[in-house]
Structure 1
Amino acid sequence: MSGSFVAFFILSLLTIGGAVFMISFTRVVHMVISLGITFLSIAGLFVLLEAEFVAVSQVLVYSGAISILMLFGIMLTKHDASDEGTGRSWKNTFSLIFVAALFLVIFWGIQNTAWPGVTESAEAGVSNVKQIGLEVFTHFVIPFELVSVLLLVALVGAIIMAKKEGDNE
């Protein structure tokens, strides 16, 4: 057993465990913490795949920003704690059976797939961040700029909608 296999196994268990706990917990704050663990584990898997830029983006965007945004949304809204976790006995049993069957199908598919050999996709000594930058700013400049304009329009629209809702009160 190599170290990367052990790291992959542990990160995979954390990813799957965090996702299962996220749908199993009854308190929303616990769900967000489980989701954060899942996001961090996925970032670790990206590091194992030597995609450091994607891993850092995963940590910054999802583990940091999205999880904090969810926690603020939960903390700032009113909800009744007695409503959480009611009527889940048959749903838990059905979910367990479904997840076990899905696991068996995926495991069978992975074991019976003929995987191609490892190919050397990147030149030695060239970082994938440099490759991403070169691709984005040489071949995909126009889509990159269109996405930035789209995000700006969405931000302005959200501000206008929030201002209209605030004026009604």
Structure 2
Amino acid sequence: MFNIEVTGEFVAFFVFAVIIISGAVLMVSFTKVVHMVISLAAVFLGLAGMFVLLEAEFVAFVQVLIYAGAVSILMVFGIMMTKHQAMQDEPKRPVHEALSAIAALCLFGILFYAIRITELSVPEQFQAGEDNTMEIGKLLYTGYVIPFELVSVLLTVAFIGAIVIAKKEAD
């Protein structure tokens, strides 16, 4: 009935899919924030593996470096540096839960219908570059150098602002 050839890429896809899905489910299931961050890091690493399968090595590297590494570490430090008080359990709201479930199902139905009726075409001139990282670097430092530099200035200002806010709270 189904003619499926089991290759290494096929197996890797399902391994990464299981890592991503289980990490996402665990992320919303855990109650301790540190466990949630570890689950989120597993999702980020699974996504990086998917990017490698799609031959987007640069995006996979950035995914590991920025998200799985830096963002996860930042979240852990943020958790460790803030004071947490015990939260009270929120009252159960069955009406809100039912409306949320209906809204989620409606959104799923609309998205499923939109994806099914959409016809995507590939441009004739499109061809993947031999070295994706080299092409991204050329574009970044020629055509998009001003936005690239503005983002670096913005991140520096945000970092300095975070330090100033943290110092005020410590005093």
Q: TM-score range by the shorter chain?
A: 0.7 to 0.9
Q: Greater relative contact order: 1 or 2 (C-alpha under 8 angstroms, separation 6 or more)?
A: 1
Match 1:19 to one of 16, 24, 46: 24
Q: CA deviation at 1:35?
A: 0.5
Q: What is the rounded CA distance, in whole Å, between the counterparts of 1:66 and 1:153 in structure 2?
A: 18
Q: What is the rounded CA distance, in whole Å, between the counterparts of 1:116 and 1:35 in structure 2?
A: 34
Counting aligned pairs with the same residue, the percent is: 52
Question: Which amino acid in the other structure matches residue 33 of structure 2?
Answer: V
Q: Does 1:161 align with 2:168?
A: no
Q: What is the rounded CA distance, in whole Å, between the counterparts of 1:114 and 1:18 in structure 2?
A: 32
Q: Does 1:54 align with 2:59?
A: yes
Q: What is the rounded CA distance, in whole Å, between the counterparts of 1:75 and 1:26 in structure 2?
A: 16
Q: Does 1:29 align with 2:62?
A: no
Question: Which amino acid in the other structure matches residue 18 of structure 1?
Answer: G
Partner of 2:147: 143
Q: 1:137 to 1:152 in 2, by over 3 A?
A: same
Structure 1 gaps of 5+ residues are none
Match 1:68 to one of 50, 64, 73: 73
Provide the secondary structure at the position in 2 that maps to 1:121. Answer: coil
Q: What is the rounded CA distance, in whole Å, between the counterparts of 1:48 and 1:59 in structure 2?
A: 14
Question: Which amino acid in the other structure matches residue 77 of structure 2?
Answer: F
Q: CA deviation at 1:19?
A: 1.2
Structure 2 gaps of 5+ residues are none
Q: CA deviation at 1:11?
A: 1.6
Question: Which amino acid in the other structure matches residue 163 of structure 2?
Answer: I
Moved more, 157-166 or 58-67: 157-166
Moved more, 23-32 or 100-109: 100-109
TM-score by length of 2: 0.73
Question: Which amino acid in the other structure matches residue 135 of structure 2?
Answer: Q
Q: What is the rounded CA distance, in whole Å, between the counterparts of 1:62 and 1:20 in structure 2?
A: 18
Match 1:38 to one of 43, 62, 82: 43
Q: What is the rounded CA distance, in whole Å, between the counterparts of 1:145 and 1:155 in structure 2?
A: 15
Q: CA deviation at 1:111?
A: 5.9
Q: What is the rounded CA distance, in whole Å, between the counterparts of 2:153 and 2:19 in structure 1?
A: 37
Q: What is the rounded CA distance, in whole Å, between the counterparts of 1:40 and 1:84 in structure 2?
A: 34
